[in-house]
Chains A and B, each alone.
Chain A
Amino acid sequence: MLGPSLAAWALFVFVPLGLAAYESLFAWDMLTDPVYVGGANYAAIAESGELGRILGRTLGFSVLVVSGSMALGLGLALLLDRPGRFFAFVRGAIFSAYVVSWVAVALLWVLLLDPDRGVAAALLRAFGLPRVGFLTDPHAALVTLAAVTIWKITGYAMVVFLAGLRSVPQSLHEAASLDGAGPIARFRWVTWPLLKPTAAFVATTSLIVSFQAFDVVRIMTGGGPARATTLFVYAIYEQVFMNLSVGRASALAVVYFLVLCVLAAAQLRAWRSQTVGRRA
């Protein structure tokens, strides 16, 4: 019963992983013969400091995206968890961004954020604020990409939080109200403790999404300016398809996989302590 699925995974997950580890030991441009270089590919990406920078950028980006989309998603869920067509419409509007293609979203925001002719620039001017090179200033670009990503995936966090909110028993709220708890106290002592597993779920999934960010990078900045937005997946892509350096790309992919494993282990541990805590 599991056979076909396992075969597919073997072919497209496990064999490629092994192959990546193998290819990472060669210098190869796909056109001429590969040359065995041992650990030189790893040394090359590590010694120039590039690996550290890529990792730092990707983690920073993820932190921004996860915290931003979760905070916003939770806030919107609390705000919009009300009956009526208007609120349903707003919920739908926010979630629709999650459904639309990354390509469309990225292209749209390139236009909106154009430093001279974009709507965002016009708004800044209207409020007398200084010009910001959202996508063109090396210090701003990564934050901008994170903001666009948040815009895209907040609807997802909101929807999951809404589902979580609806599983909070009404009676608990009523009891708390009778005890004289205000909305903030009720959130702090009733809603939030029950919402924690939901939050952990959202955190995990949006971390995965943010770690795979590629489309926004490729379409909005091409990894620039001055490599400020070269995130992990884009770096791998660039190595293999722009530089035709299969070895370097494979070495990066192996490191990327190891980082994912570490993150997954950390999350699993956090999740376990969470559920244990809840049972206690």
Chain B
Amino acid sequence: MSLRSRRPGLLVSLLAAVAAAVWILPYAWMVVTSLKPLDEIAQDPTAPFPKHPQLDAYREVFDLVPVGRYLLVSLAVAVAIGVLQLALALPAGYALAKLHFVGKKTAFALVVACLLVPAQVTFVSVFLMFSKLSLTNTFSALVLPFAASALGTYLVRQALLSVPDEIIEAARLDGASELTIIYRILGPLLRPTLVSVFLVSFVFHYSDYFWPLVMTTDDTVRTLPLGIALLKEPGSGVRWHVVMAGNVLLSLPVLALFAIAQKHLIRGVAGRS
């Protein structure tokens, strides 16, 4: 558009720089604080740079929290959820887009309804169910409730609507089973959509605080966000350099992923590929 094609004026560049500052400086502050020794924070909490930068805070995070284990749990949960969501959303989206069966409209309405019921409505009951089965503090409690994704199903269905039926019919004539059609033929065709769905789900569940908080009572499957939030200890003053070091460790993996896969993520988030 024409706004775009013109050379940016000074005002525009200035505003953009301000916006960048508003979003970048807090991160910078997180890093700076994590490098300060505690007494520097106490004496001059708003000094822009550490006088004697040091990595003690990071060492302390590793002492206080099994960072590696929690990180592994977080990654495993996020990957498992992402994989399950794709595995289930493909056939479900396929049925909704390409098959004809009684109750299809109702089924689609159900999917949309599920979009509107967040985990925040059901967590009390789901917790009670899991605790009855002694499944709190397990991987299952963190993963299974998210196995079926209404959003993923919806997006797969939308993407499949634009895939011509002829492809499917040709495959059927060749004797391919429905499963082969779904996973071997349509799966690769929908790759961009699937990648986006996976990434959005991954980023969300890697960072999720609510569900692991509610479903775990100890640290068998504690995720990294929970571990980091616990660094803000009670009692003798918050040790901000340690908390911020934890924050950096928590944020780095997603920020790295973001740097690599920004395009796919944005497409997934904008929701309408």
Asked whether any CB of A lies within 8 Å of a CB of B in the complex, the reply is yes
Q: Which residues of A contact B (CB under 8 A)?
A: 1-2, 4-6, 8-9, 12-13, 15-17, 19-20, 23, 30, 76, 78-84, 86-87, 89-90, 92-104, 107-112, 114, 117-119, 122, 151, 155-156, 159-160, 163, 165, 168, 170, 173-174, 177, 183, 186, 191, 201, 205, 208, 211-212, 214-215, 218-219, 232-233, 236-237, 240-241, 246, 249-250, 253, 256-257, 260-261, 264
Q: Which residue on chain A has the smallest CB distance to residue B25?
A: A119
Are A4 and B232 within 8 A (Cβ)? no
Are A264 and B153 within 8 A (Cβ)? no
Are A97 and B23 within 8 A (Cβ)? yes
| Contact A100 to B255, CB < 8 A, known contacts A1-B92, A4-B91, A250-B124 | yes
Of the candidates B16, B206, B251, B269, which one forms a contact with A80 in the assembled complex, judged by CB atoms under 8 Å apart? B16
Distance to closest chain A CB from B206 (angstroms): 8
Which chain B residues border A236 with CB–CB below 8 Å?
A: 120, 123-124
Which chain B residues border A151 with CB–CB below 8 Å?
A: 22-23, 26
| Contact A98 to B46, CB < 8 A, known contacts A79-B15, A86-B16, A246-B124 | no
Query: B125 on the interface (CB 8 Å rule)?
Result: yes
Of the candidates A80, A100, A246, which one forms a contact with B128 in the assembled complex, judged by CB atoms under 8 Å apart? A246
Are A103 and B229 within 8 A (Cβ)? yes
Are A103 and B207 within 8 A (Cβ)? yes
Of the candidates B124, B226, B254, which one forms a contact with A20 in the assembled complex, judged by CB atoms under 8 Å apart? B124
Q: Which residues of B contact A (CB under 8 A)?
A: 1-4, 8, 12-13, 15-17, 19-20, 22-24, 26-27, 29-30, 33, 41, 45-46, 88-89, 91-92, 94-96, 99, 107, 110, 114, 116-118, 120-129, 131, 144-145, 147-148, 150, 153, 178, 182, 203, 206-207, 209-210, 213-214, 225-226, 228-229, 232, 240, 243-244, 246-247, 250-251, 254-255, 257-258, 262, 265-266, 269-272
Are A93 and B270 within 8 A (Cβ)? no
Q: How far is the CA of A2 from the CA of B118 in the complex (A)?
A: 20
Distance to closest chain B CB from A204 (angstroms): 10
Are B33 and A111 within 8 A (Cβ)? yes
Are B20 and A5 within 8 A (Cβ)? no
Q: Which residue on chain B has the smallest CB distance to residue A102?
A: B209
Which chain A residues border B250 with CB–CB below 8 Å?
A: 101, 103-104
Are A103 and B94 within 8 A (Cβ)? no
Which chain B residues border A104 with CB–CB below 8 Å?
A: 30, 207, 225, 228, 247, 250-251
| Contact A256 to B114, CB < 8 A, known contacts A8-B144, A94-B19, A241-B214 | no
Q: How far is the CA of A108 from the CA of B29 in the complex (A)?
A: 8
Main secondary structure of the interface of B (DSSP, over half): helix
Are B20 and A103 within 8 A (Cβ)? no
Q: How far is the CA of A109 from the CA of B22 in the complex (A)?
A: 12
Which chain B residues border A2 with CB–CB below 8 Å?
A: 91-92, 95-96, 107
Of the candidates A13, A94, A101, A174, which one forms a contact with B117 in the assembled complex, judged by CB atoms under 8 Å apart? A13
Are A237 and B214 within 8 A (Cβ)? yes
Which chain A residues border B232 with CB–CB below 8 Å?
A: 107, 110, 219
Are A212 and B118 within 8 A (Cβ)? yes
Which chain A residues border B94 with CB–CB below 8 Å?
A: 1
9 contacts between A and B (CB under 8 A): A15-B129, A20-B124, A101-B251, A103-B229, A117-B45, A119-B29, A214-B209, A233-B210, A257-B117
New A-B pairs, 19, CB < 8 Å, besides A108-B26, A253-B121, A257-B117: A5-B88, A15-B125, A20-B122, A84-B8, A92-B262, A101-B207, A101-B250, A102-B207, A159-B266, A159-B269, A173-B2, A214-B210, A219-B209, A233-B120, A236-B120, A236-B124, A249-B124, A253-B125, A264-B116
Are B110 and A6 within 8 A (Cβ)? yes
Which chain A residues border B118 with CB–CB below 8 Å?
A: 208, 211-212, 260
